[in-house]
Chain A
Amino acid sequence: MAASEYTMRIWRGDASGGAFCDYRVSVEPGMVVLDAIHRVQATQANDLAVRWNCKAGKCGSCSAEVNGRPRLTCMTRMELFPPGETITVTPMRTFPLIRDLVTDVSFNFGTAKQVPPFQPKPKEPDGTYRMQQEDIDRVQEFHKCIECFLCQNVCHVIRDHPEHKKHFAGPRMFVRYAALEMHPLDTDNRLELLKEKMGLELCNITKCCTEVCPESIHITDNAIIPLKERVVDAYYDPLARVFRKLTGTR
């Protein structure tokens, strides 16, 4: 099969500024955006900075914005775009730029440190735990998170209001909190923390996070809304029913 030519318009620069650079690359069938970036790197710009590890959508390292859409570059096929088209690749917008396509995502590791750890209940007499598959299905969905931070990148609470970073854990961490709160063995309760310190209430359920999640985790419906409900049940009980009605959940 024939190769086609594309122009890769890649953001080059660092915290102090930068510009787009155009690179012509030939693309064979099956190539993904990350392959095209690597081709530029190997042949035209050895110092082009980009993060990646698995090249199979499993590690969440290669997040960037392709033609303005937040994506894993290793799972975005070039065939998606008509041959000859110019493909624009920019770093995730919400995080401070380090260089080229690489951003400083340390915010997310910081909020991870604030999550109160798993507190299991005692084991069965035989020294193991018993759990039914249906009781862990939901939490296993949350455990699929590959920490690509694309959801954190698109959430307007962080994106448009960097000042919120201090008291807003963000969708990725809400998934994490939900995983702990719904874990059949966990005994801790993190609702007050979520309400008081993690900014759960700042989320107004726009679902932008869910739309970009490459693991198709139902971040809003399955994690955030149930957490909000639990908070409501615990702290504003009389209003619970009204709330449910408004958000259309049970």
Chain B
Amino acid sequence: MVENEYETHEFDVIVIGAGGAGLRAAIESSAQGARTALICKSLFGKAHTVMAEGGIAAALGNVYPEDNWKVHFRDTMRGGKFLNNWRMAQLHAQEAPTRVLELEEWGALFDRTEDGHILQRDFGGHRYARLAHVGDRTGLEMIRTLQQRAVRQGIDVFMECTIMRLLTDGDRLSGALAYWRESGKFVVFKAKAIVLATGGIGKTYKITSNSWEYTGDGHSLALWAGADLIDMEFVQFHPTGMVWPPSVRGILVTEGVRGDGGTLKNAQGERFMFKYIPELYRAETAETAEEADRWFTDRSAARRTPDLLPRDEVARAINSEVKAGRGSPHGGVFLDIATRRDPEYIKRRLPSMYHQFKELAGVDITQEPMEVGPTCHYAMGGVRVDADTEAATIQGLYAAGEVAGGMHGANRLGGNSLSDLLVFGQRAGLAAARYALGLTGGVRIDAHQVETLAREALEPFERSDGENPYAIHQDLQECMQSLVGIIRIEGELKQAVDKIVALEDRAKKVRVEGHRQYNPGWHLALDLKSLLAVSKCITLAALERKESRGGHTRDDYPKSDPHFAKINVVLRQKKDQLGVAQEPLPEMPEDLRQLLEEKK
């Protein structure tokens, strides 16, 4: 049998995913002396992290010396509507500055302040200018720096190699099964510990800022291996994606545009965000355009602009404006920086936005407003982990970065992802290496399990008729976009569950043409499994949370509910049965709770 032929590699630790989180984890694991492999679906250096624009949040205090980890912690918890794992939010705020400085030590060059320190920019929900950045291409700087560090450490990289399943020996994790994109051949990785760093789920939606890689693989791998997922109902719709032309719909417009002075307007030219200031932010948000504009230069006498409220608030506001008929010609709103900053400043601060609009939309953002609207951007939910070690709920499995849940609660603040990758990537790599090095005896691969999975994976080639995987993917995206989008309601969510079940049946009969060598149709056919699994998780969790909070808005339960303020929705698969449970949030210690009360 062809599927019998596979190569085997053995490591102490394998890290699945080579974005910021995976790279940082692998660097740490190898520094601890563990034999470490880094595996990724795309070429090395092309992970999502490369697309990150605005910056890395870290309370360095270079621009505002008043800033410190406590304020960052408070901002993060408020942005997350207090649903965050408090311990993760604390570690993140405390360790982000060290991790950013470490990047500089490894060769990264951030934009500078007058006195030669790392410059920081304003972003939504952050009290102080806090984002270390390089123009609007911060992710590129971060991934190259880490990539080069990983090369220096001689870490084994397996690129264009996709993990399909985690393997178990009894109830112990023993490795993973993958295929090479180039040849279509199978690969078995034997490993004592596995770090998931696979990123997000955006490709389940039609309008998204995410790339083809975001099919929820890590979420699904964990679920299928028996680990818990939490907070899956919280999907972040970034308020500003491109809306025109149709082929670029969803591509991100960085929050940095608003951080650097851009403002949102409706078709009547009104700066509408002033109408949408929520109670929690009222005391610290400007009430007039004049005050908002003054804030950019004078923090002591003016309050921050509502254009920089957290993303969930801004996305909902845009949604309401468009619904009320005050949208732009192509169903978005206007984002104007042209009338507010001079062309030189715009080109220097936002070079790739300038380029992107010029090339793709024929719009000169130094002269005209942009048209923007919400786009699916980030998964707050993910693998449930221990805050200090990123250990998942099954032994030997770790998760860091976007695939992990808890850190961002109900809504992530901009800039808090890149810092999250570094802080928890490092911690996951450390814990995984220690665990693997402390384990005595080898792991065993169950050949029967490998063969069964391999055979299953090749079935789409054998069917003489069956469906086109692209058609199924498109139908799933339509379903998630229209029924499990920004505003949700029970009837539609139930409809979505039925549709997903029907799509699962269709996916079982999918057929692909051609052969195994670099065949995107086949790759998508395999990805459908994880796309459908995470879609189901998102929808079931959204049904369970009968309230509105952060990235989850229910039309039938428009208010936040104190009951759900103390609850994580947990998804767990046992013997092919997907279960949904409500479990209590970890209790926050009193001293941290007080930080949230303080006005400063």
3 pairs of A and B residues whose beta carbons are closest in the complex:
A30-B245, A46-B521, A47-B514
- Besides A31-B247, A99-B518, A100-B518, 13 other CB < 8 A contacts? A28-B245, A31-B245, A47-B519, A53-B46, A53-B50, A99-B517, A130-B117, A133-B111, A136-B109, A140-B109, A140-B135, A143-B134, A183-B107
Total contacts A to B, CB within 8 angstroms?
Answer: 158
* Interface residue? B596 (CB, 8 A): no
Given the complex, which residues of B lie within 8 Å of A99, measured CB to CB?
A: 517-518
Q: Is the CB of A60 within 8 A of B360?
A: no
Given the complex, which residues of B lie within 8 Å of A93, measured CB to CB?
A: none
Q: Is the CB of B137 within 8 A of A144?
A: yes
Picked from A29, A46, A112, A131, the residue with its CB within 8 Å of the CB of B468 is: A46
C-alpha gap A77/B248 in the complex (Å): 11
C-alpha gap A17/B45 in the complex (Å): 30
Given the complex, which residues of B lie within 8 Å of A32, measured CB to CB?
A: 247, 360
Report the minimum CB–CB distance from A63 to chain B (whole Å).
Answer: 11
C-alpha gap A75/B360 in the complex (Å): 7
Given the complex, which residues of B lie within 8 Å of A127, measured CB to CB?
A: 101
Q: Is the CB of A105 within 8 A of B116?
A: no
Binary B-proximity of A21-42 (CB < 8 A = 1, otherwise 0):
0000000111110010000011
Selecting from A113-121, A156-164, A191-199, the interface stretch reads A113-121
* Interface residue? B56 (CB, 8 A): no
* Interface residue? B275 (CB, 8 A): no
Report B's interface with A, CB cutoff 8 A.
42-48, 50-51, 101, 104-107, 109, 111-112, 115-118, 134-135, 137, 140-141, 144, 148-149, 151-152, 159, 182, 211-213, 244-248, 251-252, 352, 355-356, 359-361, 468-470, 474, 512-515, 517-522
State whether A47 and B522 are in contact (beta carbons under 8 Å apart), knowing that A54-B211, A58-B50, A118-B148 are contacts in the complex. yes
Picked from A35, A59, A120, the residue with its CB within 8 Å of the CB of B51 is: A59
Q: Is the CB of A117 within 8 A of B51?
A: no
Q: Is the CB of A53 within 8 A of B517?
A: no
Jot down 20 A-B pairs with beta carbons below 8 A, ordered by A: A14-B517, A29-B245, A30-B246, A31-B247, A32-B360, A46-B514, A46-B519, A47-B522, A52-B211, A56-B51, A56-B251, A58-B352, A59-B211, A117-B149, A118-B106, A127-B101, A129-B105, A132-B116, A147-B45, A185-B107
Given the complex, which residues of B lie within 8 Å of A57, measured CB to CB?
A: 352, 355-356, 359
Q: Is the CB of A98 within 8 A of B359?
A: no
* Interface residue? A128 (CB, 8 A): yes
Q: Is the CB of B109 within 8 A of A131?
A: yes
Given the complex, which residues of A lie within 8 Å of B352, measured CB to CB?
A: 57-58
User: Which residue of B134, B140, B244, B519 has the most chain A CB atoms within 10 A of its CB atom?
Assistant: B140
User: Which residue of B43, B44, B244, B470 has the most chain A CB atoms within 10 A of its CB atom?
Assistant: B43
* Interface residue? A203 (CB, 8 A): no
Q: Is the CB of B248 within 8 A of A53?
A: no
* Interface residue? A55 (CB, 8 A): yes
Picked from A30, A55, A123, the residue with its CB within 8 Å of the CB of B244 is: A30
* Interface residue? A139 (CB, 8 A): yes
Given the complex, which residues of A lie within 8 Å of B245, measured CB to CB?
A: 28-31
Closest A residue to B119 by beta carbon equals A133
* Interface residue? A244 (CB, 8 A): no
User: Which residue of B47, B105, B149 has the most chain A CB atoms within 10 A of its CB atom?
Assistant: B105
Closest B residue to A76 by beta carbon equals B359
C-alpha gap A50/B111 in the complex (Å): 35
Closest A residue to B213 by beta carbon equals A53
Report A's interface with B, CB cutoff 8 A.
14, 28-32, 35, 41-43, 45-61, 75, 77, 98-100, 102, 104-105, 109, 112-113, 115, 117-118, 120, 123, 127-133, 136, 139-140, 143-147, 180, 183, 185-186
Q: Is the CB of A41 within 8 A of B520?
A: yes
Q: Is the CB of A42 within 8 A of B470?
A: yes
State whether A143 and B144 are in contact (beta carbons under 8 Å apart), knowing that A46-B520, A52-B212, A118-B107 are contacts in the complex. yes
Q: Is the CB of B107 within 8 A of A54?
A: no
User: Which residue of A47, A128, A185 has the most chain B CB atoms within 10 A of its CB atom?
Assistant: A47
Closest B residue to A58 by beta carbon equals B51
C-alpha gap A111/B51 in the complex (Å): 24
Q: Is the CB of B356 within 8 A of A56?
A: yes
State whether A28 and B251 are in contact (beta carbons under 8 Å apart), knowing that A58-B137, A77-B359 are contacts in the complex. no
Closest A residue to B517 by beta carbon equals A99
Picked from B42, B106, B117, B140, the residue with its CB within 8 Å of the CB of A53 is: B42
Q: Is the CB of B513 within 8 A of A47?
A: yes
Q: Is the CB of B140 within 8 A of A144?
A: yes
Given the complex, which residues of B lie within 8 Å of A186, measured CB to CB?
A: 107
Given the complex, which residues of B lie within 8 Å of A46, measured CB to CB?
A: 468-470, 512-514, 519-521
Q: Is the CB of B104 within 8 A of A129?
A: yes
Closest B residue to A147 by beta carbon equals B45
Given the complex, which residues of A lie within 8 Å of B117, measured CB to CB?
A: 128, 130
Q: Is the CB of A50 within 8 A of B520?
A: yes
C-alpha gap A132/B148 in the complex (Å): 24
Closest B residue to A47 by beta carbon equals B514
Given the complex, which residues of B lie within 8 Å of A30, measured CB to CB?
A: 244-248, 360-361
C-alpha gap A175/B356 in the complex (Å): 23
Closest B residue to A139 by beta carbon equals B109
C-alpha gap A43/B144 in the complex (Å): 36
Q: Is the CB of A58 within 8 A of B359?
A: no
Closest A residue to B135 by beta carbon equals A140
Given the complex, which residues of B lie within 8 Å of A35, measured CB to CB?
A: 247
User: Which residue of B45, B47, B213 has the most chain A CB atoms within 10 A of its CB atom?
Assistant: B45
C-alpha gap A53/B211 in the complex (Å): 5
Q: Is the CB of B518 within 8 A of A143?
A: no
Closest B residue to A54 by beta carbon equals B51
C-alpha gap A147/B47 in the complex (Å): 13
Q: Is the CB of A120 within 8 A of B44?
A: no
Q: Is the CB of B247 within 8 A of A113?
A: no
Closest B residue to A142 by beta carbon equals B109
Q: Is the CB of B356 within 8 A of A47?
A: no
Q: Is the CB of B43 within 8 A of A61?
A: yes
Closest A residue to B115 by beta carbon equals A130
C-alpha gap A54/B19 in the complex (Å): 13
Report the minimum CB–CB distance from A3 to chain B (whole Å).
Answer: 11
Given the complex, which residues of A lie within 8 Å of B519, measured CB to CB?
A: 46-47, 49
Closest B residue to A27 by beta carbon equals B247
Report the minimum CB–CB distance from A133 to chain B (whole Å).
Answer: 4
Given the complex, which residues of B lie within 8 Å of A102, measured CB to CB?
A: 518
C-alpha gap A154/B100 in the complex (Å): 36
C-alpha gap A50/B194 in the complex (Å): 30
C-alpha gap A132/B101 in the complex (Å): 16
C-alpha gap A145/B251 in the complex (Å): 20
Q: Is the CB of B251 within 8 A of A61?
A: no
Given the complex, which residues of B lie within 8 Å of A132, measured CB to CB?
A: 112, 116
Given the complex, which residues of B lie within 8 Å of A144, measured CB to CB?
A: 137, 140
Given the complex, which residues of A lie within 8 Å of B140, measured CB to CB?
A: 58, 143-144, 146
Report the minimum CB–CB distance from A125 to chain B (whole Å).
Answer: 14
Report the minimum CB–CB distance from A108 to chain B (whole Å).
Answer: 9
Given the complex, which residues of B lie within 8 Å of A105, measured CB to CB?
A: 43
Given the complex, which residues of B lie within 8 Å of A60, measured CB to CB?
A: 46
